[in-house]
Amino acid sequence: MLKAALFLDRDGTLIEDVGYLSDIEDIHYIPGIFDILRQLQKSYTLFVVSNQVGIARGFLSHIQVDEVNRHIDSVFHQQGIHIQQWFVCPHDREAECSCMKPAPGFLLRAADEHKLDLSRSFVIGDHPHDPATAEATGAFGLYVLSGHGMKHLEELPQEQLVFHDLPAAGEWILEHPNPKTDLETEVSRGAAALQAGRLTVFPTETVYGLGANALNPDAVAMIFEAKQRPLHDPLIVHVASIQQVTTLVEHIPQKAVHLMETFWPGPLTLVLPKSSRVPDIITGGNQTVAIRMPANPLALQLISTAGVPVAAPSANLFGRTSPTTAQHVKNQLSGSYAALIDGGTCRVGVESTVLSLTGETPVILREGGLAREDIEEAIGTVKSRGEDGEAKYDGPGMLPDHYAPTTPLRLVNDIEQYMSSPRVGKLCFQSRPKKECFPQAADRDKTTRILSPRGDVREAAINLYHRMQELDAMGLDLIVAEFAPDHGLGRAVNDRLKKASQKT
Ligand code: TXA
Ligand code: MG
């Protein structure tokens, strides 16, 4: 049988991307790669494929690149990892060579020389041209958010699976050796479970959801049981079509039509007057129902295959940190669902924005994955919950002690003060000029996590729960966190941090 292979990008995937890398002193391995590569090489031949335009542009010589690669290769060797071949494209974009990603030249050459089955092979990298290379050859592309991954995230098609880093992508490969059919199987099992009145965990662009057939009260009751969630806490109903919405509400107001057209599928939940078809257990007895159409294609496939609207809260225990990877869900809810669809890391990372359209003026009940600024641009001024005594409704996600890690979390203004406290986790918004604030290279300090090295609120949202859970798993005495700037998704990040810090 032909062998399967992994084509690994170098900068940003195996090692941190520091620009034109010429000095072996500047090699920093992405944490966890050695373990996962040792496992993966049992089933896959490993190749490194990297574009080094620095050579064509005169910033690097062939010799320097070769020296760096040899050095990494020797470190891998000491770690028991064998790279079959190193491929380096030295050209500039204008050269239009057949070896610069996304051109698949190297993959085709490797397949030919090493008798590879590309249809069972994977390409992993932190630039959209990495999965594009896969696409061109029938291999499966996985995108990582390390390196420059965050920067180009928006350029990717929705179907593209993304992972925090190579270790996470590698774990997924081990469980999905036939990625396309494995995913189809997960979706059809998930849909069958929903139809049978059981629970299915599925990825959305915001966080993972714990889903049940919204029209089956007994199935919905199982969600409350699994999460240990109080029954007065209403659920969001997920739909795959506008037609499904019409069965759940009395009527769709004009503003809602406009918002759906503008932002769906996407991280916006609309609260509307409910129809009699919606069971009371969904709405906590309220006469309104919260509805959204998620953007994740696996979620949409699940809902349309099941053929029913799907009630789903975030797939975590009540009050705890929301899951943005399948692993987070397994850590908290293992055993309490019938099926799980593993679609990698959630691209938005915080829950949807909940907007009530039941009164005169729309009211934001929960800040979330769609920025308030975007909503106001579409429909004009909106209010916040509590303004002018509007919308006193207190839903669960609105309780103060939500989204909390098990380690106490405190918001501070002087996070640098804690840098030398090894028993305190530091959740920083962005990187600092190292010498000033982080004398001991905090970027690589074990108990420090940076939400967005480049200070971007969207990136901070994607990382928030993941980094929180990493620190929580260390069994520290305390986690200190600092606020993000209060605009765009920064509002949602700050909202979650405040709530997490109020756990008693
Ligand atoms: O992004 C999300 O919204 C995720 C994914 C899975 O779609 N779901 C989620 O669900 O965060 P959950 O249950 O964790 O939060 C639902 C929020 C709660 O704050 C709840 O109070 C509010 O939506 N909500 C639900 N129904 C409502 C209603 N009828 N009126 C007002 N608020 C409602
Ligand atoms: Mg890269």
For residue 11, the CA-to-ligand 2 centroid distance in Å is: 4
Domain end (from 177, 201, 229): 177
pLDDT number for residue 222: 97
Domain end (from 372, 397, 422): 397
Indicate if 173 and 215 belong to the same structural domain: no
**Positive/negative CA dihedral, 367, 372, 376, 379:** negative
User: Within a domain: residue 403?
Assistant: no
User: Within a domain: residue 404?
Assistant: no
Can you tell me which atom of ligand 1 is nearest the CA of 294?
7
User: Within a domain: residue 83?
Assistant: yes
Alpha carbon distance 318, 338 (integer Å)? 19
User: Within a domain: residue 402?
Assistant: no
**Residue range(s) defining the domain that contains residue 236:** 182-397
For residue 313, the CA-to-ligand 1 centroid distance in Å is: 6
Indicate if 252 and 227 belong to the same structural domain: yes
Which ligand gives the minimal distance to the CA of 149?
2
Residues with Cβ within 8 Å of 377's Cβ and at least 6 positions away in sequence, in order, are none
User: How many structural domains comprise the chain?
Assistant: 3
Size (the chain), residues = 504
In the block, tokens 């982080």 appear at 438
For residue 147, the CA-to-ligand 2 centroid distance in Å is: 6
pLDDT number for residue 391: 44
Question: What is the CB-side half-sphere exposure of residue 87 using CA atoms within 13 A?
Answer: 25
Q: Which of 229, 269, 332, 337 to mutate to test the pocket of ligand 1 (most atoms within 8 A of CB)?
A: 269
Indicate if 173 and 186 belong to the same structural domain: no
**Positive/negative CA dihedral, 149, 154, 160, 163:** positive
Residue 19 CA: distances (Å) to CA of 132, 344, 396: 22, 27, 45
Please report which helix (H) or strand (E) contains residue 73, including its range.
helix 62-78
For residue 204, the CA-to-ligand 1 centroid distance in Å is: 13
User: Within a domain: residue 75?
Assistant: yes
pLDDT number for residue 388: 52
Report pLDDT digits (tens) over 10-43: 999 999 999 999 999 999 999 999 999 999 999 9
Can you tell me which atom of ligand 1 is nearest the CA of 229?
13
Which ligand gives the minimal distance to the CA of 11?
2
User: Within a domain: residue 416?
Assistant: yes
Indicate if 287 and 265 belong to the same structural domain: yes
For residue 127, the CA-to-ligand 2 centroid distance in Å is: 6
- The tokens for 255 are 């503003």
Indicate if 335 and 447 belong to the same structural domain: no
Paired residues of 50 in beta bridges: 88
User: Within a domain: residue 211?
Assistant: yes
Indicate if 210 and 334 belong to the same structural domain: yes
For residue 79, the CA-to-ligand 2 centroid distance in Å is: 22
Indicate if 367 and 226 belong to the same structural domain: yes
Alpha carbon distance 315, 329 (integer Å)? 6
Indicate if 77 and 142 belong to the same structural domain: yes
Indicate if 387 and 427 belong to the same structural domain: no
Alpha carbon distance 296, 306 (integer Å)? 16
Q: How crowded is residue 19: how many other Cβ atoms within 10 Å of its Cβ?
A: 10
User: Within a domain: residue 284?
Assistant: yes
2 and 8 Cβ atoms separated by less than 8 Å:
no
Report pLDDT digits (tens) over 87-118: 999 999 999 999 999 999 999 999 999 999 99
Task: Please state whether the predicted TM-score (pTM) of the whole model is above 0.85.
Answer: yes
Among 306, 300, 120, which residue's Cα sits nearest to residue 199? 306
Residues with Cβ within 8 Å of 276's Cβ and at least 6 positions away in sequence, in order, are none
**Residues of the chain under the 50 pLDDT cut:** 389-392, 435-442
Residue 13 identity (one-letter amino acid): T
Can you tell me which atom of ligand 1 is nearest the CA of 369?
1
For residue 449, the CA-to-ligand 2 centroid distance in Å is: 21
346 and 205 Cβ atoms separated by less than 8 Å:
yes
Can you tell me which atom of ligand 1 is nearest the CA of 208?
6
pLDDT number for residue 385: 84
Q: Give the binding-site residues of ligand 1, using a 6 Å CB cut-off.
A: 204, 206-207, 209, 234-236, 267, 269, 271, 283, 286, 288-290, 294, 312-314, 351-352, 354, 365-366, 393, 395-398
Alpha carbon distance 118, 443 (integer Å)? 37
> What is the CATH number for 386?
3.90.870.10
Alpha carbon distance 230, 394 (integer Å)? 13
Domain end (from 135, 157, 177): 177
For residue 115, the CA-to-ligand 2 centroid distance in Å is: 26
Indicate if 146 and 249 belong to the same structural domain: no
**Atom 7 of ligand 1, nearest CA residue:** 209
Indicate if 225 and 339 belong to the same structural domain: yes
> What is the CATH number for 173?
3.40.50.1000
Can you tell me which atom of ligand 1 is nearest the CA of 352?
1
Indicate if 316 and 362 belong to the same structural domain: yes
Q: In what order do the strands lie in the sheet with 4-8?
A: 83-89, 44-51, 4-8, 122-125, 140-144, 162-163
DSSP 315: S
